Structure 1
Amino acid sequence: MAAEPSPLDSDAIAQRVELEIERALKRNIKGLDLLIADREPVGTMPKTVIHREGTAVLYRYEPVLDEIYRVPLLIVSPPSNKGYIFDLAAGQSFVEFMLNRGYDVYNLDWNPPRRGEAGLGLADYVDRFLPDSFAAIQEITQETEVSLAGYCMGGTLATIYTALHPAAVRNLIAFATPIDFTHMKLFQAWADKRYFDVDLLVRELGVIPADVMLGAFDLSRPANRTAGRMTLWNNMWNDDYVKSYRMFDRWAAETLPVPGEYFREIITRLMWDNALAKNALEVGGRMVDLSGIACPLLNIVAQHDHIVSHEATQPLMHLTGSKDRHEIVSKGGHVSLVAGPAAVRRLWPHIDEWLGVRST
């Protein structure tokens, strides 16, 4: 015969059952709330538009300290994503963190391109939108140098800009930035030139819809959406988890369309030719030579990034001309570098420590 459970075992089992019942009730109640809830608010730090040109929008966040660093910080968003990922919510906002450390923070963000902007290419981003943003910042601050940070393809644009305009950039910070596209294995498979007719896509659509961009991310990790929803259900009782999930889900769902010519150049010149890593990329009639980047450089990589591998970022550490190069490999995934409560503890203080002494 099986032994009778001890009173301690019985109490533990009873407490476990009570907890699971409570969570099950909360899951169902919270699940109904989730279906009818408004979108979670994002981007709460006060900011002002200081420049607008076509698809580009430049914001300045209101400083929160009386004493701020002399060198301003410009963060470049990926053209396919909204910049509020840097200011997701109080307590998990990179912008809020940096403002509280005394930085003068700007964000180059993007609106969906209009049909007439389908012809925008790499040269428009790095020889027009970025220089015009620098000019607007310099008009406000009277500083000739700016610290430049970019996330994912925003980091790629920031890198290209720095190589072409080295005198304007005081420091370069690259978050999960692809440079060697041969190591973007899943995207290489998605954009296999034997089957992927990018010219047809651009010719027929002009502006590339957000669904095409989302499809690439979904194919890179097919079970991710389903697994995410299962995890959400398991944590539906946890208000903080549900709130974070809804904010990240909103950001992902609000993926932007991109200009067709920009998309074509990303596929043909960066993905297929790997021209940036080979120092063979021509933009606006000039060759992009990574050795021309001589400013201090901080390369930030996510240990479990399924989109931009560590190897894809390494030309920043080997081919650039900077003698002041540092790398941080942080736990977590692609988005956790720039958003989320964990980054506040384990990553952003290191960024502040590195950038602060180089911003005076």
Structure 2
Amino acid sequence: MNENEDIARRVELEIDRALKRNIKGLDFLIADREPVGTMPKSVIHRDGTAVLYRFEPVLDEIYRVPLVIVSPPSNRGYIFDLAPGQSFVEFMLNHGYDVYNLDWNPPRRDEAELGLCDYVDRFLPDSLAAVADVTGEEDVSLAGYCMGGTLATIHAALHPAPIRNLITLATPVDFNYMTLFQSWADKRYFDVELLVNNLGIIPADVMLGAFDLSRPANRTAGRMTLWNNMWNDDFVKSYRMFDRWAAETLPLPGTYFRELITRLMWDNALVNDTLDIADRHVDLSQITCPILNIVAQHDHIVSHEATRPLMEMTGATDRQEIVSKGGHVSLVAGPAAVRRLWPHIDDWLGVRST
């Protein structure tokens, strides 16, 4: 192929893509929401804002130790089950795990007083008890993403006995290193008491605003990238699924939000060893089970340093850390997770689940 033919081919390709962008752009605007969460599941426990799902096993033989994934209270759990081929749940089911997801519904007005104690001392232990009733097994592997991982970590410190393994994904523990959120919630200007007292339930827009402030141009850049790839059906489908997940951010109970800001963010109570739940001290050294800490290399929300106490302050002797390519969200559902991270999790967890 000579130079003129090559230029002609590239021009033809760009014209074709330009036409598809305009045609598919209209389709994007009028299309229904992208379906998500396709793996069959059933509710086995419900309590207030908490809902526990069990995914139907797909293999006749499964590992003895069940896997419970804790979603962050501000986000829907279907990030772990976006679509066939892009579902962490599907991957783990196909590799022989009995998979559960502790997910959250928007809190009702009368649930504004739900706090850290309710999450780590009520919702989590009651859900694990429901799993034990189904499986007949007391041991459980507990995995948590972002603040779901923080809640799982606090729970494991308070109730270490049934936790066979702990997997943390982009999990903040040292909140001094949550630098963007520290700036957003600067106690000199951020009146959390005024906000909670007046609203009760903290609207999802408050959390979305915090994420947007951490990367002000991110939404605009995402839209530009979408337009440049509008001709690519696979890209558009993936974008729409992630965009739906972000748009469906959940409101939070006011008391939980207040404690997140004052006790974890401002006081850094986990690292400073000053956190008490229902008059019991949260001591990270009480976590002695194997720990797999997974960090995103380009995470602008939870830095590597914010997760470091999991490797340094816990009492576990079997500790492993994986720094995976990608950002905060692509860590759990992006192409790199599918190809590289999920097989690593399977390798690590499989030998510890018998």
> Which TM-score tier does this pair reach, normalised by the shorter chain?
over 0.9
* Deviation of 1:338 (Å): 1.1
Distance 2:311 2:318 in 1: 10
Structure 2 residue 194 is matched with structure 1 residue 200: yes
SS in 1 for 2:330: coil
Structure 2 residue 78 is matched with structure 1 residue 78: no
SS in 1 for 2:39: coil
* Deviation of 1:200 (Å): 0.4
1:294 maps to which of 265, 288, 292: 288
- Aligned runs of 1:218-237 on 2, under 5 Å? 218-237=212-231
Distance 1:223 1:277 in 2: 32
Structure 2 residue 316 is matched with structure 1 residue 316: no
Distance 2:104 2:113 in 1: 16
Distance 1:163 1:241 in 2: 41
Q: Show the counterpart of 1:3.
A: none
Q: Is the 8 A contact 1:91 1:341 kept in 2?
A: no
Q: Show the counterpart of 2:46.
A: 52
Q: What runs of 5+ residues in structure 2 fail to find an aligned partner? A: none
For 1:262, give the aligned amino acid.
Y
* Deviation of 1:336 (Å): 1.2
What CA RMSD, in Å, does the superposition of the two structures yield over aligned residues? 0.6
Q: Show the counterpart of 2:210.
A: 216
* Deviation of 1:342 (Å): 2.5
Q: Is the 8 A contact 1:151 1:177 kept in 2?
A: yes
* Deviation of 1:340 (Å): 2.4
1:304 maps to which of 298, 301, 311: 298
SS in 2 for 1:219: helix
* Deviation of 1:238 (Å): 0.3
Distance 2:136 2:254 in 1: 36
Q: What runs of 5+ residues in structure 1 fail to find an aligned partner? A: 1-6
SS in 1 for 2:326: coil
Moved more, 51-60 or 7-16: 7-16
Q: Show the counterpart of 1:140.
A: 134
Distance 1:257 1:344 in 2: 29
Q: Is the 8 A contact 1:101 1:352 kept in 2?
A: yes
For 1:325, give the aligned amino acid.
R
Structure 2 residue 236 is matched with structure 1 residue 246: no
Distance 1:341 1:216 in 2: 26
* Deviation of 1:204 (Å): 0.1
SS in 1 for 2:161: helix
Distance 1:29 1:308 in 2: 38
1:43 maps to which of 22, 34, 37: 37
Q: Is the 8 A contact 1:93 1:340 kept in 2?
A: no
Superposed CA deviations along residues 22-57 of structure 1, whole A, max 9, x for unmatched, are 000000001000010000000000000000000000
Q: Show the counterpart of 1:121.
A: 115
Q: Which protein is bigger by CA-based radius of gyration?
A: 1
Distance 1:76 1:352 in 2: 17
Q: Show the counterpart of 1:20.
A: 14
TM-score (norm 2): 0.99
Moved more, 9-18 or 336-345: 336-345
Q: Show the counterpart of 1:161.
A: 155
* Deviation of 1:341 (Å): 2.9
Superposed CA deviations along residues 303-336 of structure 1, whole A, max 9, x for unmatched, are 0000000000000000000000000000000011
Q: Show the counterpart of 1:336.
A: 330
Distance 1:314 1:280 in 2: 18
Q: Show the counterpart of 2:271.
A: 277
For 1:281, give the aligned amino acid.
L
**Identical columns (%):** 82
Distance 1:302 1:344 in 2: 14
* Deviation of 1:346 (Å): 1.1
Distance 2:273 2:82 in 1: 36
4+ residue segments displaced more than 2 Å: none
Superposed CA deviations along residues 201-250 of structure 1, whole A, max 9, x for unmatched, are 00000000000000000000000000000000000000000000000000
Q: Is the 8 A contact 1:123 1:284 kept in 2?
A: yes
Q: Show the counterpart of 1:256.
A: 250
